[in-house]
Chain A
Amino acid sequence: DQQVKQNSPSLSVQEGRISILNCDYTNSMFDYFLWYKKYPAEGPTFLISISSIKDKNEDGRFTVFLNKSAKHLSLHIVPSQPGDSAVYFCAARAYSGGSNYKLTFGKGTLLTVNP
């Protein structure tokens, strides 16, 4: 059962426009949500995160919004640049006993920004 869902496998936007990537989750015990970006032949790199007690976090061109009641988060990229073209993974953290936490990843969304 997928606890973190990214229902759009791909998204294509024009350079300079807004990219909106969506993520839904089912586990109400998740306490942190984050986005990772992955280029081909590289490992995922951390992009931005948000605590479950907040509804918005902004870092430059990247903003993450969290709607806890809807169990939904989104990543906005404004303005989009061709270098943003990558696979974006949504991930969520949950406590798993002792001093352990686990990250659960979504399947990813391939973003293509066209010049």
Chain B
Amino acid sequence: DTEVTQTPKHLVMGMTNKKSLKCEQHMGHRAMYWYKQKAKKPPELMFVYSYEKLSINESVPSRFSPECPNSSLLNLHLHALQPEDSALYLCASSQAGRRGWYTLHFGNGTRLTVT
């Protein structure tokens, strides 16, 4: 079982909907990430939170809004998405600091379909 839990596993939403993806970890990690993966493509970094503060935003459109309410939780709020935003959204966590910033622990992802 993965130690990073993502909900829901699947999500279908219309372009006018507002939805949220949730991610939770209890490994004491202080860095959390959102990645987006399209079919036959590598995971692409979207956001990084370090000690609950947004530290990296890879020029992601504002229709994606991340939130880190505490050190265990990471949310991704979705609004007015486009069909091309359909993808697998992966959450990951790691220890913060130089030694930890590569051993990412991934969740199983949320498969998002925008209709």
Contact = CB atoms under 8 A, between A and B. Distances in A.
Task: Give the interface SS of chain B, mostly helix, strand, loop or mixed.
Answer: loop
B42 A108 contact: yes
Contact of B50 (A46, A89, A99, A103): A99
Given A32-B102, A44-B106, A98 B41 contact: no
A100 B55 contact: yes
B55 A43 contact: no
A3 to B, nearest CB: 10
B2 A42 contact: yes
Contact of B42 (A41, A45, A99, A107): A107
B48 A100 contact: yes
21 contacts: A4-B42, A32-B102, A42-B2, A42-B108, A43-B4, A43-B90, A43-B106, A43-B107, A43-B108, A44-B90, A44-B106, A89-B43, A91-B102, A99-B97, A101-B98, A102-B48, A103-B104, A105-B43, A106-B42, A107-B40, A108-B42
Question: 6 tightest A-B contacts by CB?
Answer: A43-B106, A105-B42, A101-B101, A93-B102, A43-B108, A32-B102
Interface of A: 4, 9, 32, 34, 36, 41-46, 49, 89, 91, 93, 96, 98-108
